[in-house]
Amino acid sequence: MTETNRTAKLSLDGKDYELAVHKGSIGPEVIDVSKLYSSTGAFTLDPGFTSTASCESTITYIDGDAGMLLYRGYPIDELAEHGDFIETCYLLLYGNLPNAAQRKEFETAITYHTMIHEQMNRFFAGFRRDAHPMAVMVGVVGALSAFYHDSTDIADPAQREIAARRMIAKIPTIAAMAFKYHIGQPFVYPRNDLDFASNFLRMCFAVPCEDYKVNPVLARAMDRIFILHADHEQNASTSTVRLAGSSGANPFACVAAGIACLWGPAHGGANEAALEMLNEIGTVDRIPEFIDRAKDRNDPFRLMGFGHRVYKNYDPRAKIMQKTAHEVLDELGITDDPLLDVARELEKIALEDPYFIEKKLYPNIDFYSGITLRALGFPTSMFTVLFSVARTVGWIAQWKEMIEDPTQRIGRPRQLYTGPTERGYVPVTERKDD
């Protein structure tokens, strides 16, 4: 962060205050209000944090108007086209793309930590078979802190490092187990000779009674989905991880909190909701009815997979996701997917509709990811789980950055209180009926 020589002026009760203005490497300047309360006695109010930078970060940059997403400076489309998820993880965690030796060391470390403590397998049996796999994820990932005590001391950099690598390696295994438990199949142990995405697909789709050969096109698509979802700046789940971590909670617990937040339909749950919506629309001729509903202020229905808090342009991830969807469908020989027809037509109509144009509502990543994941063989209930597998590295990179920041303090927002003012306790016998 660099100081500018500019200040913002605030006038309150006839008194003038000067607020420092800081500049990042790119993006909007920020007005520093950290001393506002001590100097003026007033708080700022920003529900939903639409105008608030909650922290300083060097990891991910989004320009929502331009439709730009950079991981450590690299455009997302270049990483998705030329890189892979393992080096994306390295990049997010350590700041630069790895050289060959660094990559080998990192990939080996991730590959050799994929197994989970055997005792953890018993955890699954405690869940109902029909439990949503995200419910299982919240519980089992949280339970990692009960199994890996030797990496929960956040003051020890070596333990932080081990915890980070353990989570990147083990959360895919837990996710695949949650899937297998959900569909009543035996767990499949990880295989160290496979790359990250291939191993994950195998853990999800192999069965003991026959060979499973990983299709490289599908593995590449899975890897790309992981890259696209790996980090997204201070979104709701990442802010949750940071806030949980700011109290000194261990990283496994913080990531479990992030998974809980990701579950919601306005965040990670949107890919599940988008596919359900496409199913509900069913045929192209019903699209106008749903567009009308989305525009009706009295109808809570929204076009799932459309709109974004930050992107007021086409989500750059959605473009890559659309291409990936086509690659997967072509590879699988799915030439006439009615949902893809509905999706294409819906996108076309919405992009030409004044309501969506005025409100800058463009397709987001979730619009096409559901179609791709379904073609890969995942049920909708697994979509958000896959998002959490990918976002784990982003959460950990952001958590590490926060812990390693010497100015870090517990996150403790204030409020505009509008409840009753002080009043005396009334015994139950003397309380009036409403």
Residues near ligand CMC (CB under 6 A): 232, 235, 266-268, 270, 294, 302-309, 359, 361, 364-366
> Helices (DSSP H) in 282-353: which residue ranges?
287-295, 316-331, 338-352
Q: Which is nearer to ligand CMC, 168 or 365 (CB)?
A: 365
Q: What residue has token string 């819906």?
A: 346
Q: State the number of CA atoms in the 13 A half-sphere of 59 facing the CB.
A: 26
Q: Which is nearer to ligand CMC, 222 or 274 (CB)?
A: 274
- Based on its alpha-carbon atoms, the radius of gyration of the chain, rounded to whole angstroms, reads 24
Q: How far is CA 323 from CA 56, 303, 388, in A?
A: 33, 21, 22
Give least dist CB 155 to ligand CMC, A.
32
Q: Of all residues in this chain, which one has the CB nearest to ligand CMC in the complex?
A: 307
157, 185 contact by CB (below 8 A) = no
Cβ atoms within 10 Å, residue 330: 11
Q: Which is nearer to ligand CMC, 103 or 295 (CB)?
A: 295
Identify the burial level of 101 via C-beta atoms within 10 angstroms of its C-beta, where 0-12 means exposed, 13-18 middle and 19 or more buried.
exposed
* Active-site position among 308, 315, 326, 336: 308
Kindly provide the b/e burial profile for residues 57-75, where b requires at least 16 CB atoms within 10 angstroms of the residue's own CB.
bebbbbbbeebbbbbbebe
Cα separation, 272 vs 222, whole angstroms: 17
Give least dist CB 316 to ligand CMC, A.
12
Cβ atoms within 10 Å, residue 413: 11
Cα separation, 122 vs 145, whole angstroms: 16
Give least dist CB 366 to ligand CMC, A.
5
Q: Which is nearer to ligand CMC, 72 or 308 (CB)?
A: 308
- Which residues, including other chains, have CB under 8 Å from residue 196's CB and lie 6 or more apart? 84, 85, 86, 110, 111, 172, 223, 226
267 catalytically annotated? no
373, 218 contact by CB (below 8 A) = no
Beta bridge partners of 3: 22
Cα separation, 284 vs 161, whole angstroms: 50
Q: Based on DSSP, count helices (H) and strands (E) in the chain, helices before strands.
A: 18, 6
Give least dist CB 127 to ligand CMC, A.
25
Q: State the number of CA atoms in the 13 A half-sphere of 152 facing the CB.
A: 15
Give least dist CB 232 to ligand CMC, A.
6
82 catalytically annotated? no
Cα separation, 143 vs 141, whole angstroms: 5
Q: Which is nearer to ligand CMC, 153 or 299 (CB)?
A: 299
Q: Which is nearer to ligand CMC, 136 or 304 (CB)?
A: 304
Residue 190 backbone dihedrals phi, psi, to 5 degrees: -65, 160
416, 402 contact by CB (below 8 A) = no
* Active-site position among 223, 231, 315, 366: 366
Give least dist CB 248 to ligand CMC, A.
27
Q: Which is nearer to ligand CMC, 134 or 270 (CB)?
A: 270
Among the listed residues 134, 414, 407, 373, the one whose alpha carbon sits nearest the alpha carbon of residue 260: 134
Q: Which is nearer to ligand CMC, 169 or 294 (CB)?
A: 294
Give least dist CB 71 to ligand CMC, A.
15
Give least dist CB 358 to ligand CMC, A.
9
Give least dist CB 43 to ligand CMC, A.
22
Q: Which is nearer to ligand CMC, 170 or 317 (CB)?
A: 317
Cβ atoms within 10 Å, residue 387: 30
Task: Give catalytic residue positions.
Answer: 308, 366
